[in-house]
Structure 1
Amino acid sequence: MRGILGWGVHLPYRRLDLATVAAVAGSGGGKGTRGIASYDEDTTTMAVAAARAALLGVSGPAAAASPATATATTPTPTPIKTLWFCTTAPAYQDRTNATAVHAALRLPRATAAYDATGAVRSAVGVLDAALSGAGSHLVVTSDLRTGRPGGADEAAGGDAAAALLVGDGTAAAPVLAELVGHAAATEEFLDRWRTPGDLASKTWEERFGETRYATVGTEAWNALLAATGLRPEAVDVLLVAGTHERAARSVLKKTGVPAERLHDPFVRTLGNAGAAQPALLLASALENARPGQTIALLVLADGADAFLWRTTDALATHTGPTPTVADQIAQGALLPYGRYLAWRGFLPVEPPRRPEPARTSASAAARATAWKFALVGSQNTDPQHGSKQTESQHTDSQHPEPHHPVHLPPSPFDTAPHPAADAEGTVVTFTIDRLAYSPSPPVVFAVVDFDGGGRLPIELTDVDPAEVAIGLRVQATFRRLSSADGVHNYFWKARPVRPVRGLPPGPEGIR
């Protein structure tokens, strides 16, 4: 039995209120919100967040709760043969973006890492290849969806990432949703395109695309029903993904599945995440599914792909990753439209009057890959070392000194790695710097004591300066610090640990 072993989703914290668009752009916008990746997020950083959630959801919190005994690689119940990274907006061209995700996950060197970029359908193709192959594969999809200010793509798009772990299943990682069947239809027609370097896509007259997608979508759907022997009314959950909204609505009517069984919680909350949308919908559906249900996924992108899944009994005891998709939808803060335009490069603004960051060193990064990409510190496990407090180790009544001191960053004199990316921490002091270089000032910098040991000065993100306080609980998040000469400097920041709540208004002071 081959299918999905686990999933993970990352939804950005920031949202754009579409009702505010027309006042600035003169047109466009609409009802609801859309997801906005932060200025320090790109498709690589969001992919890391989704993939980490997927692996943690499969391995369970126990694997992350004992960092002192962790090895140089992330513990998983099933060896991962291949990591696939799919996006239409890669941070790099002419080099593999998946290797940064691989490093952040601490996967073994024997795990291959490949990109599948350029088109929305590439993500579906990789999923089909992973399901058709042998062994376990991690399919990570991530996308930044942009459009001209006031345009339809701006309002309909959304930034997000989703990851699916695919394989045959084991006792430790059973199949949660078995693949029952897959059918595809391909046709060459010009509907949507974007040349390299363009910030926004172009589209042909939408009635033309609707006609072509209605044909290929119905063809793929009917082929799936014929291959599986399933009647439309037997489908419990229907998922339809595609960047052509009119075509999606048209094909939905032709499936024969009752309209109330369509599952799409991202309409007017997050938007359409392009290459990430199929996996995003599937993850959300699995989060709400019961054992024995049938889930159909129809993807319209340069043709059509139709998948049919059946959930297994293992889903009943699967806790899944946290926070859930529903939790992430409920969380978030609004972003002013002008700030969004500046972050995406549509509105040139005065740059910080400070020296720009220098290009990060490739050789220095290679020497510190585990620390830079996976936040792996060090710990001295020598029994003779004792528990003498060091300058980098803080203790108080709430965080007693461990027997073996932890160092963040790692010390060359320690004897064991100490992964800290899964640990939460507490802010012990902080500063708000309005003079330091940043594309989104002010910079909020804090000193954090991490649970399990280790104190680290670290920048905060996804935070309003007014909410920062001593005692604030935070968690590590992989972000982009800066870019210079086309080289992206990735490292870790910290973001607040937030309870589930409704979408609050967003103040101007935003990180």
Structure 2
Amino acid sequence: MSTLSGIAAYGVHLPYWRLTHATIQQAVGRRVGKGARTVAGYDEDTTTMAVEASRRALAGVGNDIDSVLFATTAPAYIDKTNATAVHGALGISPDARAADVGGAVRSGTCALLTGLERSGRTLVALADTRTGPSGSSDEATGGDAAAAFVVGPATESTPLIAEFLGAGSASTEFLDRWRAPGDPWSQTWEERFGEGAYAEAAARSLTNALKETGLSIGDLDKYSVTGLSPRAARSFLASSGVSRGAVADDLVGRIGYSGAAHAGVALAAMLDTASPGQILAITVLADGADTLFFRTTDAIATARPATTVEDQIAAGRDSLSYVDFLSWRGLVARQMPRRPDPDRAAGPASHRMVDWKYGFVGSRCLECDTEHLPPQRVCLRCGVTDRMVPAPLAHTQATVATYTIDHLAFSPAPPVVGAVIDFDGGGRFSCELTDIDPDTLQIGQRVEMTFRRLSTAEGIHNYFWKARPSADAPTAEGHRS
């Protein structure tokens, strides 16, 4: 087994929804630029997005993980570890450590560096949601996203796709951006205030990284600079000496800046298009700067995720209204249905059924091979008792058998679309569909499972699984019900 550390696998999750700058401009009456930003759905938060990115990262390498590190500036819980929900949804061994890392934007890069410097196999999950005052630059140029990396030494069964060559850092204390606990968004000084401090930190981190690795500027094949100050990133990049052909798009202009997750998204985008043997570098500006160097291996050509960052950018739906965006963020109160609030999820019941609730693990009868969702002790087909084995179905695709579109039931994103789906290999399940245009839904459509937040009651988030259109399977011929 090699002691060389690096990236064995990676994945990115970009939400389905987009808020265009034109929509913001129409609502607030002031120009906010061109383009669009990613927006987490009403049933998404940083935990669910981290799960989705991690599922893509683990798809080709399995879930034999020693530890899970989760970084975000917008945790679903305080005083409770959010990484444990990610760990549970992925079916990782209970012997693995699961921990949250910090609460600042820089925690994303530090979590990745921590994983790379460990001796074991680590899943590093980065996720964030960003917003700002109505009509502000932060609101328009923020973004919601998640990225995940399986890092550590190579194994016989899982080679590295990118070797970690080294890093350089620089830290400095200056009040450029801050958010007190409980505040809905950050506050900032004028961007020109931080430009000089960030440029100096970026230059120092790059110099330190070059010194540690023995490389030169001319060795870089792809280089991305991103961070809390786009102005400082552009200024530093222009003076860095990196050739124009090596400069990689940091994607801020296309999806917005996604805080603690953005360095991971930008790195993943470089990996998506890298060739074997290329040197990749990224400098991240956040309370100083960190620069990381990687060299891709021959495995990069065959080990990329099935769905790339570019695929997900192209798949976004840009019809989100400004009022819906504010409502999903909890910044606008809408009329709620005149019915009791949902019951809060119960801790003991959730713990007893953690494999089902978080991992979507059903049961399969050993006598007749019938799949059961949720898992059962008694087979519904042959009646045998306690002859079941676990049947993980979170990664199994399914086909829509029938569906209904409900315009009366309450939803933050009406209408509610319910469906009965048949899993490949057996198993039938009734669930809600998400991230779908109801006008395009068909019987026979291919769907996949996605981890979502069903409701929040009394401060407790109720996580479970919904289905969404499959990203890599064509729609079957069918008809509307």
Instruction: Indicate whether the TM-score tops 0.5.
Output: yes
- CA displacement 1:69-107 (0-9 Å, x = unmatched): xxxxxxx4xx32110010000000010000000000000
SS at 2:253 equivalent: coil
Q: 1:227: Cα distance to partner?
A: 2.4
Distance 1:300 1:139, change over 3 A: same
CA distance in structure 1 between the aligned counterparts of 2:345 and 2:114, rounded to whole angstroms: 36
CA RMSD of aligned residues (A): 1.6
Residues 28, 151 of structure 1: 8 Å contact kept: no
Residues 38, 145 of structure 2: 8 Å contact kept: yes
Task: Return the match for 1:111 from 93, 96, 117.
Answer: 96
**Counterpart check, 1:11 vs 2:45:** no
The residue that corresponds to 1:476 in the other structure is 449
Residues 306, 472 of structure 2: 8 Å contact kept: no
Give 1:186-201 correspondences, 5 Å limit. Answer: 186-201=171-186
Q: 1:499: Cα distance to partner?
A: 6.0
The residue that corresponds to 2:79 in the other structure is 94
Residues 10, 268 of structure 2: 8 Å contact kept: yes
CA distance in structure 2 between the aligned counterparts of 1:352 and 1:31, rounded to whole angstroms: 36
Task: Return the match for 2:373 from 389, 393, 408.
Answer: 408
The residue that corresponds to 1:165 in the other structure is 150
Q: 1:267: Cα distance to partner?
A: 3.5
Task: Return the match for 2:24 from 4, 14, 21.
Answer: 21
The residue that corresponds to 1:399 in the other structure is none
Residues 8, 57 of structure 1: 8 Å contact kept: no
Give 1:157-236 correspondences, 5 Å limit. Answer: 157-236=142-221
CA distance in structure 2 between the aligned counterparts of 1:430 and 1:315, rounded to whole angstroms: 40
Q: Tell me which amino acid in the other structure corresponds to 1:490.
A: Y
Task: Return the match for 2:342 from 347, 351, 357.
Answer: 357
The residue that corresponds to 1:323 in the other structure is 307
The residue that corresponds to 2:265 in the other structure is 280
Task: Return the match for 1:454 from 393, 412, 427.
Answer: 427
CA distance in structure 2 between the aligned counterparts of 1:438 and 1:489, rounded to whole angstroms: 16
- CA displacement 1:175-220 (0-9 Å, x = unmatched): 1111112111111111111112221110012111111101111111
Q: 1:352: Cα distance to partner?
A: 2.4
Q: Tell me which amino acid in the other structure corresponds to 2:389.
A: A
Structure 1 gaps of 5+ residues are 60-75, 387-403, 502-511
Q: Tell me which amino acid in the other structure corresponds to 1:485.
A: E
CA distance in structure 2 between the aligned counterparts of 1:178 and 1:28, rounded to whole angstroms: 44
Deviating more after overlay: 225-234 vs 273-282: 225-234
SS at 2:60 equivalent: helix
Q: Tell me which amino acid in the other structure corresponds to 1:280.
A: V
Q: Tell me which amino acid in the other structure corresponds to 2:52.
A: A
CA distance in structure 2 between the aligned counterparts of 1:46 and 1:170, rounded to whole angstroms: 28
Give 1:271-420 correspondences, 5 Å limit. Answer: 271-318=256-303, 320-334=304-318, 335-381=320-366, 385-386=367-368, 404-413=369-378, 414-420=387-393
Residues 169, 291 of structure 2: 8 Å contact kept: yes
Residues 307, 472 of structure 2: 8 Å contact kept: no
SS at 2:165 equivalent: strand
CA distance in structure 2 between the aligned counterparts of 1:150 and 1:500, rounded to whole angstroms: 38
Task: Report the number of matched residues.
Answer: 462
Residues 237, 285 of structure 1: 8 Å contact kept: yes
The residue that corresponds to 1:400 in the other structure is none
Q: 1:500: Cα distance to partner?
A: 9.6
TM-score of the two chains, using structure 1 as the length reference = 0.88
Q: 1:28: Cα distance to partner?
A: 4.5
- CA displacement 1:384-414 (0-9 Å, x = unmatched): x34xxxxxxxxxxxxxxxxx11011111234
The residue that corresponds to 1:154 in the other structure is 139
SS at 1:57 equivalent: coil
CA distance in structure 1 between the aligned counterparts of 2:301 and 2:433, rounded to whole angstroms: 37
**Counterpart check, 1:496 vs 2:461:** no
Percentage identity across aligned positions? 51
CA distance in structure 2 between the aligned counterparts of 1:262 and 1:452, rounded to whole angstroms: 46
CA distance in structure 1 between the aligned counterparts of 2:117 and 2:433, rounded to whole angstroms: 42
Q: 1:328: Cα distance to partner?
A: 0.9
Q: 1:317: Cα distance to partner?
A: 3.2
CA distance in structure 2 between the aligned counterparts of 1:11 and 1:327, rounded to whole angstroms: 10
Q: 1:238: Cα distance to partner?
A: 0.3
Residues 224, 250 of structure 2: 8 Å contact kept: no
Residues 356, 437 of structure 1: 8 Å contact kept: no
Q: 1:29: Cα distance to partner?
A: 2.7
Q: Tell me which amino acid in the other structure corresponds to 2:210.
A: L
Residues 169, 205 of structure 2: 8 Å contact kept: yes
Residues 57, 322 of structure 1: 8 Å contact kept: no
The residue that corresponds to 1:504 in the other structure is none
Q: Tell me which amino acid in the other structure corresponds to 1:115.
A: D
TM-score of the two chains, using structure 2 as the length reference = 0.93
Q: Tell me which amino acid in the other structure corresponds to 1:342.
A: S
Structure 2 gaps of 5+ residues are 379-386, 475-481
- CA displacement 1:260-301 (0-9 Å, x = unmatched): 322126233211111011111111111111111101110110
- CA displacement 1:215-242 (0-9 Å, x = unmatched): 1111111122222222212210001120
- CA displacement 1:411-438 (0-9 Å, x = unmatched): 1234101111011111111122233343
CA distance in structure 2 between the aligned counterparts of 1:158 and 1:500, rounded to whole angstroms: 27
SS at 2:255 equivalent: coil
CA distance in structure 1 between the aligned counterparts of 2:17 and 2:27, rounded to whole angstroms: 19
- CA displacement 1:335-361 (0-9 Å, x = unmatched): 122211211122222122332211111
SS at 2:127 equivalent: strand
- CA displacement 1:466-504 (0-9 Å, x = unmatched): 222222211110000000000000000001124699xxx
The residue that corresponds to 1:141 in the other structure is 126
